[in-house]
Amino acid sequence: MTDTADDLIERKMLDDLYADFEDAGLIPLWTQLDGLMPATPQSAAVPHLWRWERLLPTAERSGRLVPVGRGGERRAMALSNPGLPGLPYATPTLWAAIQYLGPREVAPSHRHSQGAFRFVLDGEDVWKNVDGDAVAMRRGDLLLTPSWAFHEHQNVTDEPMTWIDGLDIPLVAQLDAGFFEFGPDELSTTATPERSRAERLWAHPGLRPISRPDRPNSPLAAYRWEHTDAALTAQLELEVEGIAGVLEPGHAGVRFSNPTTGKDALVTIRTEMRRLRAGTRTTPLRSVGSAAVWCRPTPWRTRSRRAEHPPGRSGTGRPLDPRCPPPRCSVAYSGACI
């Protein structure tokens, strides 16, 4: 069976039309619908688990081999989702990295429209200066660097520090909203106070300075591990006493919030800490929205002293493995301890 003349003419007209679409700067919907508007989200990202025992030695080696300084700015190694090859993104909207700051090192000042948090995995006696406010970084603390605040880090010890960086880099890139500026080469302050100005003003439960207005991101620069630990411990204890507080049986959780609004601490990234009672398995949850989750079989002890955790070894026996459930991935967790 061969094409008729009409068929040929119609095919020619169609070919011409599609050529004209291209000339006119048009792309028809009907040839692309499935990719553009899938029945359910088809994220390129995949669930992935990184092993701390693999990450830490690599970070340590980079500490020996790669200097930190102006230009490179930070010794941060981004988790690259295997479904997003070549992209330094943990999920389609989140950037998550291990940052390593060697003994006596300084990471220089800059600021950017991207919002950031840091979560300290090990060490103390590093200070993050945020717009001139020196904020101590200690194991288990969550620290904020809201959009457009100048920040820099200095390590005043002979030990390295490792922390997690979380930023909204992919989201801001998609929105074409990224701005970046280098700060001065000199540290804005070499002070090493126990508590930052931000904490002295804001870290009082339920109290706010009358003089300070609402802000979209939290003005509280640091959420200390001792508070987070106490809050999680209390929820699990209250559960035993029959008092509501946990998310579900054996599953405690707090949200880092902005004391001026009660909403999330950062406008672009939700930050939470959960704790599972040993033997608990959470309800599987599937959501539109991705996550980077750090898991650890045992919680840190609050206010533990450096001596208990010899440098370079703290991670060995106590892995804190990041894993990244992308959008629409069904996720549940099991607890090995309390």
Q: Give the footprint of a second copy on residues 264-293 (CB under 8 A).
A: 265, 272, 288-290
Which residue, 274 or 306, has its beta carbon nearer to a second copy? 274
Q: Which range touches a second copy (CB under 8 A), out of 54-62, 119-127, 153-161, 278-286?
A: 54-62
Which residue, 177 or 310, has its beta carbon nearer to a second copy? 177
Judged by CB under 8 A, does residue 66 bind a second copy?
A: yes
Of 114, 110, 125, nearest in space to 69 by CA = 110
Size of the site for a second copy (CB under 8 A): 118
Sign of CA pseudo-dihedral 78, 125, 143, 236: positive
How many Cα atoms are found within 13 Å in the side-chain-facing hemisphere of 286? 5
Judged by CB under 8 A, does residue 201 bind a second copy?
A: yes
* CB < 8 Å & 24+ apart, contacts of 202-206: 202/259, 203/227
Q: How far is the CB of 17 from a second copy (least distance, A)?
A: 5
- Could you tell me the two tokens for 134? 């020196």
* CB < 8 Å & 24+ apart, contacts of 73-79: 73/107, 73/108, 73/110, 74/99, 74/107, 74/165, 75/99, 75/100, 75/101, 75/102, 75/107, 76/100, 76/165, 79/48, 79/50, 79/292, 79/322, 79/324
Within residues 94-113, the interface with a second copy by CB under 8 A covers 95, 97-98, 112
Q: Which of 73, 124, 131, 321 binds a second copy (CB under 8 A)?
A: 73
Judged by CB under 8 A, does residue 82 bind a second copy?
A: yes
How many Cα atoms are found within 13 Å in the side-chain-facing hemisphere of 272? 13
Q: Which range touches a second copy (CB under 8 A), out of 120-128, 241-249, 277-285, 309-317?
A: 241-249
Judged by CB under 8 A, does residue 262 bind a second copy?
A: yes
Which residue, 261 or 306, has its beta carbon nearer to a second copy? 261
How many Cα atoms are found within 13 Å in the side-chain-facing hemisphere of 246? 23
Q: How far is the CB of 8 from a second copy (least distance, A)?
A: 14
Distance separating alpha carbons of residues 297 and 146, to the nearest angstrom: 30
Within residues 130-159, the interface with a second copy by CB under 8 A covers none
Q: Which of 4, 5, 6, 39 binds a second copy (CB under 8 A)?
A: 39
Q: Which range touches a second copy (CB under 8 A), out of 21-29, 117-125, 155-163, 297-305?
A: 21-29
DSSP states of 275-296: EE-TT-BPPPEE-SS---EEE-
Q: Which of 104, 204, 286, 313 binds a second copy (CB under 8 A)?
A: 204
Which residue, 1 or 244, has its beta carbon nearer to a second copy? 244
Distances (CA, A) of 162 to 141, 222, 241, 295, 309: 12, 17, 37, 16, 13
CB 254 within 8 A of CB 289: no
Judged by CB under 8 A, does residue 238 bind a second copy?
A: yes
Within residues 1-20, the interface with a second copy by CB under 8 A covers 10, 13-14, 17, 20
Q: Which of 140, 325, 327, 335 binds a second copy (CB under 8 A)?
A: 327
